[in-house]
Structure 1
């Protein structure tokens, strides 16, 4: 009986030690996965901070360049568009990388599922001479963790290989998209310049028409003023001529009156002096006395 008990105790101790070792390995795996996740999170944070810094620098540069004149504005607009193109190209590259990772992970998971299920069925079978102390859920959890680790490593390796293989293709695609974006941006800039030239041409034409209209109005006003001045001068000249004519007539009348007066005075003097027998003869007659 003692021997049977000692024999029965030994596998239990073995089972407990294996269970502790599994727990330790599981905790190690969890800590390593957590450290990897934390590193991945830190890297993603660094990338997001870098992208924010780039976007902030781009925005600050665009706002600072907006205070310059027209030519510098166009240059800053071109630079901001180039930064936008680079950012879009980087986003497209990251999207392609994520798609490749997801595609590879799905393929790898589909290929590894039968192996893991077979492994699970093997692990669920109890060892000969031992009791099955572990539950199927714990075994499944261990298998899933191990499978997740292996899948992660395989996916990482496969993604690196795939990226290395398709590096030139991705770079060509990115260069192609960048070139298309540049071409589109150049077309838009040319169209914008053409619109600005057309707007300036219309504004210049409107300004010239306004200046011509104002000039014509001024010329009309000056012509009207000149006409009024000429009319006033003509009236003034006519009035002056009329005054001169009236003065002449008055002078002639005065001269005529003066001559008549002098003539009358002379005639009276002649009468008084009796010159030229102008004096009447006196006749005397005697009346008889009665």
Structure 2
């Protein structure tokens, strides 16, 4: 891994491009997952903290890891803003992942409410990381509103279906001058690698690791896949031969008539 290749969010630098969600872990597995993933950012649902688990969760997160509270459970901008302010007041810092979801079946984000929350919180000095359905116009609006990155879903939350929105994410990568972090639905390390090969700045995963047979091993597999995808993107891909084939070694004279 290239230590000079940094993920930068509002001036904050990170070497790891793996953001780890913690919502579905037992407390006993959080530390192992974080350490094996090499993650420097981990999400924290304030709903879980409000239930009395916050002290225990923090006990299992290694020092130096940046907390990313999310507004899970918020149905609109007003609720998301209240949760974000509460997270700051409880000492969780200025990072906030905006989730505004009123769809209870597919759990798709409400882009309009997400934009409203982003506008308010960015003005208050938060490092706003909005989770959104990949739409170029809303991504542009989020950038103008002061978002630190754009976090489009790969597929519905918790589905492990992978990059169902791949073509739309590509558009965001090409057109938006902010880090594009693929969030939700990544189910396998190979899918995380593919997202990074496309040019995504980072990948967030939760369910794929939390529901794996061996959580620490799967966390490590994701770490390696994300690093490999990033390295291959930076290296640049070879030309694709659409028709026929191309010899990998030059043909020597004795093979010709």
TM-score by length of 1: 0.14
Q: Which has the higher strand share?
A: 2
TM-score by length of 2: 0.15
Q: Which has the higher helix share?
A: 1
CA radius of gyration, larger in: 1
